[in-house]
Amino acid sequence: MLLLRAEPPRRGSPRTPVLPTTTTPPPPPRGRSQLRSPRRLPPLPLPRRGCSRFPPGSPATGGRRGAAPVLAALLGLGAVLAYGERRRRGAQAAQATPAPRYPLYTREEVGRHRSPQDRVWVTHGTEVFDVTDFVELHPGGADKVLLAAGGALEPFWALYAVHNQPHVLELLQEYKVGELGPEEAPPTPTATQDPFAGDPARHPGLRVNSQKPFNAEPPAELLAERFLTPNELFFTRNHLPVPAVDPGSYRLRVEGPGGRALSLSLAELRSRFPKHEVTATLQCAGNRRSEMSHVRPVKGLAWDIGAISTARWGGVRLRDVLLQAGFEEEREGEWHVCFEGLDTDVGGAPYGASIPYGRAVSPAADVLLAYEMNGQELPRDHGFPLRVVVPGVVGARSVKWLRRVAVSPAESPSHWQQNDYKGFSPCVDWDTVDYSTAPAIQELPVQSAITHPRPGTAVPAGELTVKGYAWSGGGREVVRVDVSLDGGRTWRVARLLGERPVPGRAWAWALWELQAPVAAGAELEIVCKAVDGSYNVQPDTVAPIWNLRGVLSNAWHRVHVTVGR
């Protein structure tokens, strides 16, 4: 698969101590010499990758060495200028060279090309493509490309709708080697039906970043209006179609070394374990990614400041379930708890993630297997019937639609644990990145953002109210939010709202406000920065923390407004 690579009224000061949680008891090769070569454009002078998945001279590395890195670079980085130049050259070549005539193939013949040794062929519509040279460059991994080997792209592109764009189809033409014979029927409707057709309805107020899979954030101006985010406005980060789960037949499987295994229904989870509740903020690693793209292009959804929300979660402690399954509170060496969801790709691979074993069994970490959200049954978009909630940790580890928990000496092998959600230096690009050299993101850095006023608005003269949120990972309390109206030259301290958390268990955000007089006709650059209990503070600019995936974006948040006359 070619893949381009998610209450109660506000409380005011003074802040008083309150416990964050409660617990209640249980109620063959291509043969180019036999084919007429398609038109090829001269390769762009892009750098080569430092390593290859295939050895030199192997079939996987033969052929169009120029086109492959160009395509990967364009797909991975979105190099608009390079793409425009390529289109210009293509138009010139098309005028100078007659269109080639391609040989005809049957689907059976295409199906013989399913590996790098036999060449990897795919079809799209009635056209046949040899994508062998792209396999090692695929951002999502060679295994994803090989799922479509010998067959049609349509079922896979239906799952990742971002491919259905004109520039992707144009670039695919670089790999064309033939056409299907007129007697060959198109893929059956069942093979190309929309895998997202069963997704739930969503609130129209959400600001959508992608439809398939669905990813959306609440309007920024509503974020700080309530301490708990309403379920229907809670940010949604889906990687795959939303599964339809029958709660009556649902079983959670817990397993680990030594043959330990435990299978639990929803009713058994509710009856055999104490209910535990925790108020926790979840934040996507890509929150505020759009600001990084202003420095240099990044790959990922263009989240604004809304890939963060807070809820009161109810369920059972992961610790209790692991102990019931026979696992010890402490284990020697490195151990992890891996999670798998019921959401799967077309090859059957589930979304997965893991956390360190020590966090999973710590009574102070409050890791939940949650079945309630803000006092209601989990909505489908947020993991019904059961999900993991890992307070203080990046949202990617809070796996939804949970089907399996496994204790393992290794991290989850999932793509999203091994080859995504990691941070890199600004000097690392898609030709040099090596995901195995970086740790998976767990706790997130200190963060804050301005929710009111919105950028580019006009505000009345007089007293201006600035609102926002602040949060830090690992349970570190936000102890101060500094706000500037002049780009950081002078500062004021905002008022923190709500209740003061238990030290070390500040799982939820702090909402804040600042009132300040503003003069008519002024141009304001409002800036905020948060400080947590370890005196971690946000960096002032984005460029030094830029990374190719646009994660961990937590520079000072800046909003420009004008004051009316």
2: closest CA among 184, 129, 188? 129
Q: Which of 5, 119, 237, 558 is catalytic?
A: 237
Burial label for 63, CB within 10 Å (0-12, 13-18, 19+), is middle
447: its two tokens: 């963060």
Q: Which of 86, 119, 138, 319 is catalytic?
A: 138
- Residues with Cβ within 8 Å of 31's Cβ and at least 6 positions away in sequence, in order, are none
Sheet of 492-493, strand order = 458-459, 557-563, 523-532, 478-484, 492-493
Is residue 382 among the annotated active site residues?
A: no
- State the virtual CA torsion across 374, 377, 382, 385 in degrees, nearest 10: 140
Q: Which of 105, 351, 421, 469 is catalytic?
A: 421
Is residue 138 among the annotated active site residues?
A: yes
For the chain, counts of helices (H) and of strands (E): 14, 28
- Let me know: does 150 contact 113? Beta carbons within 8 Å: yes
Is residue 250 among the annotated active site residues?
A: no
Q: Residue 14: is the preceding peptide bond cis (ω within 30°)?
A: yes
Is residue 237 among the annotated active site residues?
A: yes
Maximum C-alpha span of the chain = 81
Report the distance separating Cα 509 and Cα 390, nearest Å.
Answer: 15
Compute CA 299 distance to the chain's CA centroid, rounded to the nearest angstrom: 10
Report the distance separating Cα 465 and Cα 282, nearest Å.
Answer: 26
φ and ψ of 77, to 5 deg: -110, -15
Q: Which of 5, 276, 284, 357 is catalytic?
A: 284
Q: Which of 113, 163, 397, 452 is catalytic?
A: 163
3-class state of residue 67 by DSSP: helix
How many other C-beta atoms can be found within 10 angstroms of the C-beta atom of residue 329?
A: 12
Strands in 31-126 per DSSP E: 104-105, 114-115, 119-124
First and final CA of the chain: distance in angstroms?
A: 57
Give the residue numbers annotated as catalytic, written as ranges.
Answer: 138, 163, 237, 284, 421
